[in-house]
Structures are given as C-alpha cells and as structure tokens.
Amino acid sequence: MNNKDLLKHLKETNFIPSKKMGQNFLICNNYKKLIVDSLEINEEDNIIEIGPGFGALTSLILDKTNNLKLVELDKRIHAHLKETFTDIEIINNNILDVNLDDLCIKDKTNKIISNLPYSISSKAIVKIIKCKYIESSILMIQKEVAERITAKEGSKNYNGFSVFIQLVCEPKKLFDVPNTVFHPKPSVTSSVIKLTRKDNLDFDIDKMEKFIRKCFGQKRKTIFNNLKEFFNHENVTNVLLKLEIDKNRRPETLSLNEYKELYCYFLI
C-alpha cells in the first residue's frame, strides 16, 4: 500500500488512528527505505516487525527476505494484514505480552524492526534486549528517548536506563525523522536507533537491571547513599575505596566499567 492508497483506505474505511496505541503511520517512501536498509537484512535472516501498521515497511522487508513475522495489536489492522500478506505469520497481540524467544529461529540471525509506540518504547526496548537470540534491532522512537539511550556519563541525559542499555548493547543513533512524514502528525520528533547486542555478556541481565535501578534509586543522592539503602554501610564504603570511587560521586558520573565492577562485588 503506497502513501496515496493508505490515505484513501483510511478515508474509505473511516479508520481513525488510535492515540492510545500510538498510531502514526509513516508516509514518506525515502524514510521507509532508509529504515529498512539500516537493518542490513540478509536473505537468511529472521525478521520480526513490531507494529507494522498497514505494511509501510513490510513490503520492503519482503523484497529482502521471506523470513518475516509481524506483531500487530490493532485487530482492525491485523485483519487487513492477514488479507494482504497471506504467506507470513502475523500475531495479534501486544509485544509486551509476546514471548520473543518463540518468534526467533535459533540457527538464524534474528533481527527486529519497529516504529515503537512512544508509551511503551522503554519497556519494549528492555524486553527486546533481554532476548538473547536478537542480534540487532532498528527502532524508531521518540528523540528524547534515543538521546537517553546513547548518552555518555556526566551528561544530563545519562541515567540508569542509559547504563543498562549500554551494558547489554552497542546503541547508535542513526538519524532523526520529522513529524511531517507521518499521518497523523505526532507532536514530537522521532529518531531511528540501532541496538546491536554485545557478545559473551558476563553477567545476569535481570540481576544487572535490578542492580542499576538500586544505583540510581535517587539521582540526586550520591552513589554511596543509594547503595547503602540496600547493602551493608561498611561493605559499601570498603568496595568504593577498593575501586577508587569517591563516595560523594553521583550515579550519573560513573562509567559503564565502574558499574560492572560494582556489580561484581555486590551481586557475584
């Protein structure tokens, strides 16, 4: 369905995009191609597209591989997709309720592509990177979220979310997408990011996520004050001394390596 056909279809079917589901349909062919090309799809790759809408990216993906699964929450759109793409698996569900492991093919390279609804983008990203079979993802998200994901220590956007994502993945912001290329037009600018999962992670992802949350319990507090809420005061003092981390430093000033070292002392 091209851009003209999409707008015609919406009018003819009286389709009203759902604000609750964050439905903003991409209507620019140049950006569609840019996004799909960014995933660097090989013919043998297994692709999972989350929230395909009316298939703005789907047809372009199918030009590169037939190994494609779609996850679409909207029942109206799901019915349309079933009629349009008859040879691929299309799941009618919320991505947060889907077992991603079941959609992956263990002996293939698994990749995800999505224009994530803003309201669930953070939760969806965490779910995606926790799936050990997903090698890389191309995600269109709110620009502010992209800036947090790629932020460096000491910057205003660097927080616990930044640390956790960067410990598991190599994030890269690729380009911004203006709100003028969507229907309906959202109130914010979007960004496309690439997340590439790091090889041979030497920590438990769930435990690391919980630990980072403790470290950033209250951003205005020092790393010492945050950690002492969960661990023995004297032990926290000794570990910080051993690692030569000033107890008065705030969480947003610590590097990824410092967080990995702290995790090893407290949780292993």
| CATH architecture under which domain 3-197 falls | 3-Layer(aba) Sandwich (3.40)
Q: Mean pLDDT score of the chain, rounded to an integer?
A: 94
Own/partner long-range contacts of 183-186 (Cβ < 8 Å, ≥24 apart): 183/6, 183/7, 183/10, 183/17, 183/24, 183/25, 183/27, 184/17, 184/24, 185/24, 186/24, 186/118
Give Cα 127 to chain centroid, integer Å. Answer: 8
| CATH architecture under which domain 205-267 falls | Orthogonal Bundle (1.10)
- Give percent of the chain with pLDDT exceeding 70: 99
49, 139, 143, 226, 236 from 118: Cα distances, Å: 16, 11, 10, 29, 37
Between 197 and 22, where is the model more confident? 197
Strands 190-197 and 134-142: antiparallel
Residue 268 has pLDDT above 80, yes or no: no
Average pLDDT over residues 161-172: 98
**What phi and psi, each to the nearest 5 degrees, are found at residue 115?**
-100, 90
Alpha-carbon distance 145 to 4, whole Å? 31
Helices (runs of H) and strands (runs of E) counted in the chain? 12, 9
* DSSP bridge partners of 145: none
Per-residue pLDDT at 205 = 96
Write the DSSP symbol of residue 133.
T
Per-domain residue ranges for the chain?
A: 3-197, 205-267
Write the DSSP symbol of residue 106.
T
Residue 145 has pLDDT above 80, yes or no: yes
At residue 267 the predicted structure's pLDDT band, cuts being 50, 70 and 90, is confident
Condensed to tens digits (0 to 9), the pLDDT of residues 192-247 reads 999 999 998 999 999 999 999 999 998 789 999 999 999 999 999 999 999 999 99
Burial of 138 (0-12, 13-18, 19+ CB in 10 A): buried
